[in-house]
Amino acid sequence: MLSPAQQLRYQADGFLVLPGFKSAAEVAALRQRAGEIVDAFDADSHRAIFSTSDQARRAASDDFLASAGGIQCFFEEEAFDATGRLRQAKALSINKIGHAMHDLDPVFAAFSRGPALAELAADLGLQQPQLWQSMYIFKQPGIGGEVKWHQDASFFDTTPSTVTGFWFALEDATVDNGCLWMQPGGHCGPLRERFVREGDAVRMEALDTTPWPDRSTAVPVPAEAGTLVVFHGLLPHWSAPNRSDRSRHAYTLHATDGRATYAAHNWLQRAAGFPVRGFD
């Protein structure tokens, strides 16, 4: 699937933008299904907030840890007022859905797998891809939260490092509504921190003091709906808060290579009866 020039670009930059990877019909089907999941979600019984700035607080939630093998909705940090009531409709308050839709929901499974993705994964060096996580991210208008600079390898530690992100734009992502920002070549730098789980306790462990990028060294990655952005697990990336009047829906998969050792301290672990699978 990837040309030699694209493979060289990925090796140099640590990411690659592939416009038109998904059809308008495929995008529409996933968006409709996400809407159905949110409509059925009991907002009164589950009020887990996805914090993009405090990993320990967000992961301490039972809903967050259980979502490794389930489907759970998480609210935006700014979704509730001082009295604990939603500031706007539930459908405009959800930050994301995670983290096993690709295995548990037929519509998400169909979007997440197939020959094109399997071939792409092989071209990127994932000879035995294993899909650990799926996230549907809403980036709601006005209250869509910032996702601070991070590296996905912090959360999916393997030896050697193999985690790869597959980020699908489901709406046009622009600088105004919070598109990704990436540091070209940043994947050649060190892993700065590691997210460690011990039982139901989690912590972020500092590993390296290399500064995070800023806008002088990073570039925005706008993407039209249907575009796939693939990126190396060590690549620093960030997205700004969405203060615009337009949402920025996206869908992300994280895969590792089964030939690598998946760390026992990773937050996401699968039960014996729920094995991790690839793109086939």
pLDDT digits (tens, 9 = 90+) for 69-97: 999 999 988 888 888 888 889 899 999 99
Return the domain boundaries, the chain: 4-262
Mean pLDDT for the chain? 93
Question: Residue 94's pLDDT is what?
Answer: 94
Mean pLDDT for 224-241 is: 98
**pTM of the predicted structure, to 2 decimals:** 0.94
SS3 32: helix
Q: How confident is the model at residue 62 (pLDDT cuts 50, 70, 90)?
A: confident
**Which two tokens mark 256?**
């590792």
CATH classification number, 4-262, choose in 1.10.287.1260, 2.60.120.620, 3.30.300.30, 1.10.357.10: 2.60.120.620
Least trusted range by pLDDT, from 15-29, 36-50, 232-246: 36-50
Residue 60 pLDDT level (bands cut at 50, 70, 90): very low
93-112 pLDDT, tens digit per residue, is 999 999 999 999 999 999 99
The dihedral sign for the CA sequence 191, 196, 202, 203:
negative
Nearest Cα neighbor of 78 from 256, 255, 261, 243 is 243
Beta strands (DSSP E) in 192-248 are 193-198, 201-206, 219-221, 228-232, 237-239
**Contact of 158 with 219, CB cutoff 8 Å:** no
